[in-house]
Chain A
């Protein structure tokens, strides 16, 4: 079985400060990992993915994520937060084999204060 944990329901940061949104996962074998962002009453937008290769993945809007195999984590980061980054963020995982669909975390609401 595959699963994703996003331990924080909400993360608050001040504009201009670095942000981290945490994600840990469980999957058999190697993982495909994704981050998505959702704005109110909209669908999810793809931010970045880890498939293989470099552990640091760069994505859209200045976001990046670090894959850590030993800690089974894939935390989302940004060096300098913007008020417009305020949204709901989802981590998702799928194994190379097994279930042929993504499993999503419960989401983390990011609030960036001006």
Chain B
């Protein structure tokens, strides 16, 4: 079945450690997105990519980095500079970034601090 796969489902980070969250899609979508979800705050955009080898910062990009070397993959690295990384991270994709198409979401990665 086509969809978005996020892994791992749960992740623990130690102080000073970088961790990478995986997001893979087989929908042949051009655009991909990373969101952070905190209780009561909805979804906040971290980074998005309109096409391979291109990406833009969202509203809360500090302490995060991404790459888009392949159309199917958009990994997110949470760096040690992100002081409050505990959250639910959601990856999404859409056919294009024209705005008139819905985004499809993965089932998320829950990141916690050890």
CB-nearest residue of chain B to A51: B100
Question: Interface residues, chain B, CB within 8 Å of chain A?
Answer: 4, 6, 33, 35, 40-45, 48, 50, 56, 58, 90, 92, 97, 99-100, 102-108, 110
Residue from A42, A96, A101 within 8 A of B48 (CB atoms): A101
Question: Cα distance A75–B57 when bound, in Å?
Answer: 30
CB-nearest residue of chain B to A34: B102
The prevalent SS among residues of B at the interface is strand
**A45 and B40 within 8 A (CB):** no
Q: Knowing A42-B108, A46-B103 touch, does A106 contact B48 (C-beta < 8 A)?
A: no
**B41 and A106 within 8 A (CB):** yes
CB-nearest residue of chain A to B48: A101
Question: Cα distance A105–B40 when bound, in Å?
Answer: 10
CB-nearest residue of chain A to B33: A101
Contact with B along A11-45 (1 / 0, CB 8 A): 00000000000000000000010101000011111
**B42 and A107 within 8 A (CB):** yes
Residue from B41, B45, B99, B105 within 8 A of A32 (CB atoms): B99
User: A104 contacts the other chain (Cβ, under 8 Å)?
Assistant: yes
